[in-house]
Structure 1
Amino acid sequence: KATVYLSDPSGKNDVKGEVTFTKHDDYILVTGSVSGLGEGKHGFHIHSFGHIAPGCTGAGAHFNPHNKTHGGPQDKSRHVGDLGNIEADSSGVATVDIRDSVIDLEGEHNIIGRAVVVHAGEDDLGKGGNEESLKTGNAGGRLACGVIGLL
């Protein structure tokens, strides 16, 4: 089991949250909540590095050990860190409930020590029809982040 505490290291917004990663036989269950968001969908990704300053940019690009293009969680071609979107309600709270069979808490797809980043905009899941879509899903700026640690 692992967890991440999310916040904006630059202090420019009030986005914060806690997300837990629980290992099951053939998937990782990702659960928790994030508050302080604008209503709607926000890209939710695991990035390569556990360095979150300044403004989450130290986290680098999406965790992508196989050099694939960006995609949605169900796509065959995706970054390991592509977990899609979380959706905030009118009060700015997003409930996280994701089952993913690509990330892991050990081995080649180990996410421990890497950063989770919540983005300002919706992840187009690599279907945006431009080069940036195939890298980032056009999800925009980085609102909050944190480093995944073992519980």
Structure 2
Amino acid sequence: MKALLVAATVLALVVSPSAAFASKMTTANAEIVNAAGDMVGKAVFEQTPTGVLIFVEARDLPPGPHGIHLHAVGSCTPDFTAAAGHINPGKVAHGLRHPDGPDNGDLPNLYVAADGTVRAEFFTTRVSVSGRARRRRPALLDENGSAI
């Protein structure tokens, strides 16, 4: 559990609406920053017809498993608490394996190598990059952005 709490701090990033993301684009990019404010990686979100592919690449992280989630607000300042809870408009239970879950922000765990690096690819049908495909696929690039 401690590793999961560390990941919430280490892997916070902002995916906010901006001029860099035109409304017709199907991808979004974000920097991953640590608690000290240092950029340690990047994430790319690519819209597909059925969901979003998420590519994560980072370095200088604590080795081992870490939880990774999509948060409802695209702000990680001052101490990452501004990102609020998970994207969860349906107010369902947290956890991919929870019988009443998962919520829209749940993703599989991230496994960091012994050298502190990670390259991972996730797919989720529970969000969209922009736009809204029914309530069950809220947009990452909504009016207040999202964080991972």
Q: Same fold (TM over 0.5)?
A: yes
Count of matched residue pairs = 114
Deviation at 1:101, TM superposition (A): 1.1
Contact 1:3 1:20 (C-alpha < 8 Å) held by counterparts: yes
With over 3 angstroms needed to count, the CA separation of the structure-2 counterparts of 1:74 and 1:68, relative to structure 1, is: closer
With over 3 angstroms needed to count, the CA separation of the structure-2 counterparts of 1:83 and 1:30, relative to structure 1, is: same
With the length of structure 2 as denominator, give the TM-score of the two structures.
0.69
* Pairs within 5 Å for 1:32-71: 32-71=56-95
**How far apart are the structure 2 equivalents of 1:27 and 1:49?**
20
| Residue number in structure 2 paired with 1:20 | 44
**How far apart are the structure 2 equivalents of 1:36 and 1:70?**
28
Unaligned segments of structure 2, at least 5 residues = 1-26
| Residue number in structure 1 paired with 2:36 | 11
With the length of structure 1 as denominator, give the TM-score of the two structures.
0.68
With over 3 angstroms needed to count, the CA separation of the structure-2 counterparts of 1:74 and 1:24, relative to structure 1, is: farther
**How far apart are the structure 2 equivalents of 1:73 and 1:2?**
28
Write the letter of the residue equivalent to 1:114: S
Please list every run of at least 4 consecutive aligned residues from structure 1 whose deviation after the TM superposition is greater than 6 angstroms: 73-76
Unaligned segments of structure 1, at least 5 residues = 117-151
**How far apart are the structure 2 equivalents of 1:59 and 1:50?**
6
Deviation at 1:94, TM superposition (A): 1.3
With over 3 angstroms needed to count, the CA separation of the structure-2 counterparts of 1:76 and 1:31, relative to structure 1, is: farther
Contact 1:15 1:37 (C-alpha < 8 Å) held by counterparts: no
> Structure 1 or 2: larger strand share?
1
